[in-house]
Amino acid sequence: MKMSKILALALALVMVLALSAPAFADDGYIGPIYDEWSEMTTEELYQAAIEESDGEPIRIYATSSKMLKVQEDFEEQFPELKLEIQDLDNDEVLEKCRLEVDGGNVYGDVLQAKDVNGDVFYGFYEDGYCEAFYPKDICEHIADTALQYGYPLYTSQSFWYYNTEEYPDGQPITNWWQIIETNEDGTPKWKLFTKEIAEETAYLSLFTSFIVNSDQMAQAYEDLYGEPLEYTYPTDGNWEFDFSQYENNAGVEYLWRFTQLADTMTFIGDGDELVQAVHESLNGPTLALASAGKIENREESGYNIGWLTNLEPYTGLQNYECLYVVSGCPHPAAARLFIRWLTGDSDGSSPGLKPFQKTGNWVVRDDIEDEDNPVPLKETGAIDSDLQAIYDNFLNAQDMWHQWEDMALNG
């Protein structure tokens, strides 16, 4: 089918789709939004990609070296097209795209990015630097909550790790408040290892979510201890925001109590070293916060480590790796073809997803079995992020963290 016929058919569907597709709302809800591209099949997109081809490769700005592994399979299935994949970090991907769009010389076609605190959506997507693409038949196998802020490739999360040899009967903690419990003499019950949370966007977003979900944090405390939470955090200080908005906030209280243990914590930037500390547990009962993928050290290094799952009120946040089409890209059909193929195609059988199906990553399609994780996604206890609320509170949480941690470390 020629490109003109394809687009004519697709455009004829736009009005029908527009009647049922969600649009921007006051709470920032965007997806899934279906357009003329959403109904197109792989073959239709391929033919359109051939017709728009200018001899240049489809350029992919990726945040994972695993993306390099898909090139051979893609080019074998679509021999008229070539890929050029650049492996960059998240900030580099976004800055590269921003410079190209602002300069009017767009070379990239697809970008991969993780948005844990709303910066990508509110500071990038809404500003028109990229577009979402929702292939309708694939989206039918993905929960709408996972499609709200973009089209996901997979999701990941972080866990607290414990020593499974020390606790052979199962995880010793079921509630976030237990992590910061102290003994009668005021010393922490647990030796905590973590990255510097205020400087790790994903981790601080998780703690910010506790502020957003204050009622859940308060209920988790009362369920655990049988009495209401007492609020002890100080509100005086040089704040750049109105602290009255955080009156009796259980998430703020948690952040305060956590930071006041900073002088007893060990901050390590390497995830493998974090879970090694749990395995060794040299200083008594030990917990470490690290990415889910570090569980692989159980098999690779023989570590006695396990995840704390189903914590109250929730274990953590699902962090989605999303795919976007660069606005004004030279190969819009090819970009969408690649995204469709990468996420499994209509029946989940394309090899595009295979490099990303590893321990610590969860594919979000309900028609693809997860065989790589010790716990299915729905049994981890993780929730979807309210990115708008996290975005609105993130900098305030960071300000609190820095000031209160400084108090604990320096008096």
Per-residue pLDDT of the chain (411 residues; tens, 9 = 90+): 444 444 443 433 333 333 333 334 344 457 899 999 999 999 999 999 999 999 999 999 999 999 999 999 999 999 999 999 999 999 999 999 999 999 999 999 999 999 999 999 998 999 999 999 999 999 999 999 999 999 999 999 999 999 999 999 999 999 999 999 999 998 999 999 999 999 999 999 999 999 999 999 999 999 999 999 999 999 988 899 999 999 999 999 999 999 999 999 999 999 999 999 999 997 789 999 999 999 999 999 999 999 999 999 999 999 999 999 999 999 999 999 999 999 999 999 999 999 999 999 999 999 998 888 999 999 999 999 999 999 999 999 999 999 999 999 997
Q: Which of 83, 94, 85 is nearest to 62 (CA)?
A: 85
Q: How far is residue 146 CA from its own chain's centroid?
A: 10
Domains and CATH numbers, the chain: 3-156+319-379 (3.40.190.10), 158-317+390-410 (3.40.190.10)
Strand partners, 297: none
**CA dist., res. 165 & res. 335, Å (int):** 48
Global pTM reads 0.90
